[in-house]
A and B are shown apart, each in its own frame.
Chain A
Amino acid sequence: MDSIFLYSSMFLALLMVLSLYRGVFGPTVADRMIGVNAIGSKTTVLLILIGLVYHRVDMFVDIALAYAMLNFIAVLAASRYFQKRKGLYDEA
């Protein structure tokens, strides 16, 4: 079972790299926010998988909860910040 969790974590990390492409090269700032949000929701699962691999789920579940909240607040703050700026679309 441990190896299944390990390979699932590696697969999730691969998916995060794919999302990172949108985060780095996205044509607009909003696209980058989408990429960062997608990475965050995958990280929440990844943290619990890491906890299961290390047999310390009770510790990692708190980290995952805090990370989910932090990700939500980060996206809200970023979108509030960038919607005040004009010319979002032109920024390549």
Chain B
Amino acid sequence: MDVVVVLFLFAGLFFFTGGAIGILRFPDFYSRLHPAGKLDTLGLLLSMIALALFNLHHFSLGTVLTSAKIIIIVVFVFLASPTATHAIVDAGVRAGLGPWTKGEQRR
């Protein structure tokens, strides 16, 4: 049981790392959104599954409710994260930011 929890948690942390490094390395605003909005979402899903599983160690009504709340957070983030990404893209498009293409200077 603990092995599964640690495995999921480290997989989540791995995707979080990918997200953070991607935000730093990618050349422009549009491509930075790719790791930021979505690798983070997947990392949150995996690590939240791990934490909800670990929380069920002492099985009772209270812990089941707490784990259900953790799953509610995941569902909410899965609905909210694409919308937030879309809002940021929309703001950037309206401000006139052009997408970076191959061969340009990085911004």
CB proximity to B under 8 Å, residues A57-92: 57-58, 61-62, 64-65, 68-69, 72, 75-76, 79-80, 82-83, 85-89
With contacts A15-B16, A45-B12, A52-B55 taken as known, whether A62 is within 8 angstroms of B69 at the C-beta atoms is yes
Contact with B along A27-69 (1 / 0, CB 8 A): 1111101110110011011001100100001100110110011
A82 with B95: in contact, given A19-B23, A34-B29, A38-B40 (CB under 8 Å)?
yes
Interface residue SS majority, chain B: helix
Q: Closest chain A residue to B96 by CB distance?
A: A89
Instruction: Report how many A-B pairs have Cβ atoms within 8 Å.
Output: 139
Output the least CB separation between A62 and chain B (Å): 7
* CB pair A28 B29 closer than 8 Å: yes
Q: Verify A41–B73 contact, CB threshold 8 A.
A: no
| Distance of A35 Cα from B91 Cα, bound (Å) | 15
Q: Interface residue tally of chain B, by bracket?
A: 35 or more
List chain B positions with a Cβ less than 8 A from chain A. 2, 6, 9, 12-13, 16-17, 19-21, 23-24, 29, 32-33, 36-37, 40-41, 43-44, 47-48, 51, 54-55, 62, 65-66, 69-70, 72-73, 76-77, 80-81, 83-84, 87-88, 90-92, 94-97, 107
